[in-house]
């Protein structure tokens, strides 16, 4: 009988902890899709496929851009590229994600910037098409634009 009571008590404690964990877990807003691809042109610096990855927590959101088709024109140190990613908002306007966040990259390495922070509202539908990515590297501005809508579609924020 004692064994049965101990097992029951352990199950109740485990269940209570699980419920408590759910009650105190941070609410994570969902952005869909979480990842989208674009074809970008960066002028004389190249172009090709790039992936945008989005995350959201309330009205705060981040976007990371990576591309193996677009490469670093020179070696850059970690957090040395000033990036401004402007996404077009359905219905007009835009939302800006900006920061100085990047991994260290050698000449020819795939470009990666972010996660760049920005502010979104519930229901925002954002697309790279109609926006741009401006990166300032050692005083040189590199501007990339999407040649068409992102796939599978715009980011929709909760």
Is residue 54 over pLDDT 70?
Answer: yes
Residue bearing tokens 């902890």: 17
Q: What is the pLDDT of residues 108-146, one digit of tens each?
A: 999 999 999 999 999 999 999 999 999 999 999 999 999
Q: Which residues in 2-22 are b (16+ Cβ under 10 Å) and which e?
A: eeeeeeeeeeeeeeeeeeeee
Confidence (pLDDT) at 74: 87
Confidence (pLDDT) at 28: 54
The reported pTM is 0.80
Is residue 93 over pLDDT 70?
Answer: yes
Helical H segments across the chain, by residue range: 2-24
Considering only 20-34, 54-68, 75-89, which range has the smallest mean pLDDT? 20-34
The pLDDT of 96-108, averaged and rounded, is: 97
Distance of CA 6 to the CA centre of its chain: 47
Considering only 19-28, 35-44, 87-96, 116-125, which range has the smallest mean pLDDT? 19-28
Confidence (pLDDT) at 60: 98
CA distance 83 to 116: 8
Plot region of 44 (φ>0 → left; ψ -120 to 50 → alpha; else → beta): alpha
Which one is predicted more confidently, 27 or 14? 27
Is residue 25 over pLDDT 80?
Answer: no
């Amino acid at each position: 009988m004692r064994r049965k009571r101990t097992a029951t008590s352990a199950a109740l404690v485990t269940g209570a902890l699980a419920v408590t964990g759910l009650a105190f877990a941070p609410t994570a807003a969902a952005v869909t899709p979480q990842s989208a691809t674009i074809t970008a042109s960066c002028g004389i610096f190249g172009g090709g496929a790039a992936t945008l990855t989005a995350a959201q927590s309330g009205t705060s959101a981040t976007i990371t851009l990576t591309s193996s088709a677009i490469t670093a024109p020179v070696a850059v140190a970690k957090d040395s590229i000033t990036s401004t990613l402007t996404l077009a908002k359905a219905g007009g306007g835009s939302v800006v994600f900006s920061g100085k966040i990047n991994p260290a990259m050698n000449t020819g390495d795939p470009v990666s910037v972010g996660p760049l922070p920005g502010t979104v509202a519930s229901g925002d539908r954002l697309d790279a098409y109609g926006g741009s990515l401006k990166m300032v590297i050692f005083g040189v501005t590199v501007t990339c634009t999407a040649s068409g809508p992102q796939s599978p579609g715009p980011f929709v924020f909760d």
